[in-house]
Amino acid sequence: MDKKKKEGRYQRLFSQIEKLMATCEHEPSRRATIIALLHAKMDYFFWTGYYLLKDGELLVDHYQGPVACMRLVKDKGVCWAAINQEKTLVVQDVHDFPDHIACDSRSNSEVVVPLRTKDGEIYGVLDVDSADKNSFDEIDAEYLEKILNLRWI
Ligand code: SME
């Protein structure tokens, strides 16, 4: 998708999510709604969901798309790398990422954004996979971070 089109789509999506988030403080409902909207509106999102930290593990939370891995082996793959490096990671070709965890062999590129509380504590990640290579760029990173910043906790 060209950058202009992508940016326009994210802008509309952000306003819609912002309005919805103002209507509900319950965190699981908020997470589920963000996933539903992102997955429905962004046609290159093949798998869209969260992994949350629980007792030192990453366990799957709300998601849409093919069935995912329930838990991710500690310190392996893109999600753990984003947690350990405390930053958003954009991977143009997951097959080039040394210990990428393939929950579905159709995934080819990926973006992972850490989830933070208002105090900055990381409690999980938003993970989006695409079936095409090179799907994600700085626009996805910027808007996904902005959407996740609409937090209540
Ligand atoms: N690819 C991720 C695992 C989660 S799936 O993409 C849904 C990773 O390497 O951490």
For the chain (153 residues), the mean pLDDT of every run of 10, in chain order, is 94 96 93 97 97 96 97 96 98 95 94 94 97 98 96 60
Contact criterion met (CB below 8 Å) for 71 and 59: yes
Ligand 1 atom with the smallest distance to the CA of 79 is 10
Nearest-atom number in ligand 1 for the CA of 58 is: 10
Q: Please tell me the predicted confidence (pLDDT) of residue 152.
A: 60
What was the pLDDT predicted at 45?
98
| pLDDT of amino acid 5 | 95
The Å distance, Cα 68 to ligand 1 centre, comes to: 8
d(CA 122, CA 35): 19
Q: CB within 6 Å of ligand 1 — which residues?
A: 47, 68-69, 72, 77-79, 100-101, 103, 107, 110, 127, 129
CATH class belonging to 3-152:
alpha beta
What is the pLDDT at residue 109? 98
The Å distance, Cα 100 to ligand 1 centre, comes to 7
Exposed / middle / buried, residue 135 (Cβ in 10 Å: 0-12, 13-18, 19+):
buried
- Centre of ligand 1 from the C-alpha of residue 137, in Å: 18
